[in-house]
Amino acid sequence: ADLIRVEHVIKEYNHGAVKALNDCSLSIQKGEVVAIIGPSGSGKSTLLRCLNLLEVPSSGHIYFNGVDITDKKVDINLHRRKMGMVFQHFNLFPHMTVKKNITLAPVQLGLKKQEEADAQAMKLLERIGLANKADEFPNMLSGGQKQRIAIVRALAMEPEVMLFDEPTSALDPEMVGEVLDLMRDLAHEGMTMAVVTHEMGFAREVASRVIFMDSGAILEENSPRFLFDSP
């Protein structure tokens, strides 16, 4: 069965004046890495935001593990916990240490005791080589470090899916590689991922499928081999 199934989703803004998604349908399997590309304003970000219910579709359905998450009875917060999200701008809390940024949500939601969450945070920081930054504040870090911390902060919630919205677009070029490397590692570990990106190299090498969006609809989807290597 599909892990995620989007069926005929329409998302309107401004009372229908803007159709950010216009009859969008797709499926994502467990362990798949889907790269979403397309021009600015084509609905990529809206699609991700509908997947984790930051936005609710105007019509259509989204199924997660067979459950219709567009149903009014669904617990939106419970669903969001399963979907880790990483934005272009890291959204770290500036007044909290790196470690606190990572432990805040699991502790506040009662998923972990502080000591457990601290231990997990240190493990995650060791994984990305930033254990020595645990007690520093985000403004002491480079953009690449901040974004890798934003990624492990999402991982601390033990999500089933990771959603990335242009995770490298705000970075200086020399920082892009370290973030893509971490994402590539996650993909190889079997994490299900949907990635809005302009990084064609990443899409080509890491994605199992590439989706082209335009005007709120999916124009084409195929394996990167077909999209990039055809004459």
DSSP state of 138: G
Does 13 sit near ligand ADP (CB under 6 A)? yes
Choices 27-35, 36-44, 66-74, 151-159 (CB under 6 A): range interacting with ligand ADP = 36-44
Does 41 sit near ligand ADP (CB under 6 A)? yes
In the complex, minimum distance from the CB of residue 140 to ligand ADP, in angstroms, rounded to a whole number: 26
CA distance 148 to 154: 10
Which residue's CB is nearer to ligand ADP, number 32 or number 165? 165
Residue pair 180/202 in contact (Cβ under 8 Å)? The answer is yes
Alpha-helix runs per DSSP H in the chain: 44-51, 76-82, 98-108, 114-127, 143-155, 173-188, 200-206, 224-229
Does 15 sit near ligand ADP (CB under 6 A)? no
* Token pair for 220: 């084409």
Which residue's CB is nearer to ligand ADP, number 130 or number 170? 170
- Quick one: angle between helices 173-188 and 143-155, nearest 10? 20
Does 143 sit near ligand ADP (CB under 6 A)? no
In the complex, minimum distance from the CB of residue 115 to ligand ADP, in angstroms, rounded to a whole number: 36
Site for ligand ADP in 58-97 (CB under 6 A): 88
Choices 43-51, 72-80, 107-115, 198-206 (CB under 6 A): range interacting with ligand ADP = 43-51
Query: Residue 155 CA to chain centroid, in angstroms?
Result: 11
**Strands 4-13, 59-64: parallel, antiparallel or unpaired by DSSP?**
antiparallel
Which residue's CB is nearer to ligand ADP, number 38 or number 138? 38
Could you list the residues that contact ligand ADP (CB under 6 A)? Answer: 13-14, 18, 20, 38, 40-46, 88, 165-166
